[in-house]
Structure 1
Amino acid sequence: MRRMTMLTTTMIAAAMAAAVVIALVVGGDIGRVMLSGS
């Protein structure tokens, strides 16, 4: 039971970290395109 909870918590934390990284990368690309476009 505890092991499954730890696994789920780790997966959720990893998914959140990946989402943050993807958001930063995509946001950076969009910002770069907007700056270069204007």
Structure 2
Amino acid sequence: MQPQTLRKWAIYENGPITPKRHGRLLRWNRNEILKFAGEIN
């Protein structure tokens, strides 16, 4: 997946992982990303 995919999900709020907003910055939980990628059970 491309980094742009995460940004698109954040903009349209339709992705499986939702970021936390800190002002204009978007932050994703690392464990949620790894779980989504299948690296954590």
* TM-score between the two structures when normalised by the length of structure 2: 0.27
Q: Which structure has the bigger radius of gyration?
A: 1
Give 1 or 2: higher strand fraction: 2
Higher RCO (C-alpha 8 Å, min separation 6)? 2
- Which structure has greater helix proportion? 1
